[in-house]
Amino acid sequence: MGGTPELKLYNTLTREKSVFKPIDAENVRMYVCGPTVYDYAHIGNARPVIVFDVLFRLLRHVYGESHVTYARNITDVDDKINARALRDYPGLPLNAAIRAVTEKTETQFLEDARALGSLEPTVQPRATDNIAEMIEIIERLIARGHAYQASGEVLFDTKSMADYGQLSKRNLDEQQAGARVAVDAHKKNPGDFVLWKLSDDNEPGWESPWGRGRPGWHIECSAMSGRYLGDVFDIHGGGLDLIFPHHENEIAQSRCAHGTDVMANVWMHNGFLQVEGRKMSKSEGNFVTIYELLHTETFAGRQWPGEVLRLAMLMTHYREPIDFTWNKLIEASNTLSKWKRAAELLSSQSTAPIDPQVLKALADDLSTQRAVQRLSTIAGSAFAAFHERGAVSEHEVEQEQQMLVATLVASAKLLGFDLLEKTEIDEAVAVEVDARVKARLEFLKAKNFAEADKIRDTLAAEGIQLKDGKDAATGERVTTWEIKR
């Protein structure tokens, strides 16, 4: 494990942060619930994509790139998909219409994930390619007395599992009391859930021992995680909203089918996301898709680079709720442009190891917010070293600065930022620098020279040079700026 501190992760199953011990350090296995592909992914969906990508990168750093298997599924069978297919492609046969919806949406999701700087998971199985595996698990559950057939459905019998509800810490009686809808007459217990249901002619279906039908949602993840990661694996992740019922039911299916004590050792959940202080919803008018944020001017009147969105997410710890605001994007944009300007000081392709404090922060239950602060501190030190030139031995300063910048670049890479890559960030830099130049002019007008000089010095430290002059037409004071490369 080299110089990496012990990795500690918060486990929803135990409600504790504890040292992570892989079942097999040669093959660390992680599963994260992926998208249901019927519509554009929204920025709430971006959060687990980014958070678990950082974990994937950290695990690869600790255990070696070829010793981590990350599976994220694509749910391409779902009643929402059918509805969308019928709405958007009324002229096509159902199967072709469904394929049109799922292929288009899946392609878009993968494009979004790439734009957010995420690595491709090791495997991205589709539900429809794993129907046989689902049928096999359901057969096993029936054989073991955990599932039953009723009214054209196969249902999981929640009372057949003594410790059902361990993850969400709910017990069946509570669920019964809290049930909002009347108990379906065909269910033995109100919490029983669908494993398989029969399909009409205008619904997609596969032949099964129980007739032509389709799987329930939960069984998909049990089948795909089992196939690619084994009966018991290391880490299962997803959003907080998936704890109940989705993850609870995945656990019930997998444990009862395989006769194991756990499905995954560590269960990790990222917190909720709000937009400008309110729950994101189409009716509130604050529903933002990743695509819109990246490619349209829907949010705050401009496009935002994927890496800015990524940083905005990582500025908050993954378990905390996040309030997604215009200010947060501006802050992320400023921070990232500062890092990139520092990276431009790298005179050769010198390399340095990842900063120990960045590693320590990430190893502490993925404290990305601390890692981000640390990177800004390193960038600040690199600028400061630049200014010391001439004061002491120039060679020493140069060396110190190169070390700092190389450390910054290597450490940012672990968080998924390529600071040496020239990107659309330039536009974001311009907006941010313009704002500061304007603020300085205001201070000059108000004869607050101390504040004005402070802004000029900070910009200079970040490699931006100001030129004051007069507008030829109006005679007013104007300031232009350029990045000193």
Residues of the shown chain interacting with Zn ion in the complex, contacts defined by CB under 5 A = 33, 221
Strands 264-270 and 233-239: parallel
For Zn ion, give the closer residue by CB, 249 or 337. 249
Q: Is there a contact between 271 and 321 (Cβ–Cβ < 8 Å)?
A: yes
SS3 category, 232: coil
Q: Is there a contact between 204 and 98 (Cβ–Cβ < 8 Å)?
A: yes
The least CB distance from residue 241 to Zn ion, in Å, is 12
What letter does residue 206 receive in the DSSP assignment?
A: B
The least CB distance from residue 220 to Zn ion, in Å, is 7
Strands 213-215 and 193-198: antiparallel
For Zn ion, give the closer residue by CB, 35 or 306. 35
C-alpha 463/C-alpha 401 separation (Å) is 14
The two structure tokens encoding residue 169: 């810490």
Other C-beta atoms closer than 10 Å to the C-beta of 481 total 17
C-alpha 172/C-alpha 181 separation (Å) is 15
For Zn ion, give the closer residue by CB, 221 or 433. 221
Q: Is there a contact between 345 and 386 (Cβ–Cβ < 8 Å)?
A: yes
For Zn ion, give the closer residue by CB, 46 or 459. 46
In the chain, the N- to C-terminal Cα span, in Å, equals 38
For Zn ion, give the closer residue by CB, 33 or 382. 33
The least CB distance from residue 125 to Zn ion, in Å, is 12
For Zn ion, give the closer residue by CB, 33 or 464. 33
* CA separation, residue 483 to residues 282, 341, 459 (Å): 41, 8, 9
Buried b (16+ CB within 10 A) or exposed e, 446-472: eeeeeebeebbeebebbbbebeeeeee
For Zn ion, give the closer residue by CB, 252 or 452. 252
For Zn ion, give the closer residue by CB, 117 or 121. 121
For Zn ion, give the closer residue by CB, 56 or 417. 56
The least CB distance from residue 73 to Zn ion, in Å, is 7
Instruction: Tell me the chain's radius of gyration from C-alpha atoms.
Output: 27
CA angle 142/144/149 to nearest 5° reads 20
The least CB distance from residue 233 to Zn ion, in Å, is 13
The least CB distance from residue 242 to Zn ion, in Å, is 7
Classify residue 60 by burial, with Cβ atoms within 10 Å: 0-12, 13-18, 19+. Answer: middle
* Residue 376: closest CA among 335, 428, 315, 332: 335
The least CB distance from residue 250 to Zn ion, in Å, is 6
- Residue type at 399 in one-letter notation: Q
The least CB distance from residue 267 to Zn ion, in Å, is 11
The least CB distance from residue 88 to Zn ion, in Å, is 25
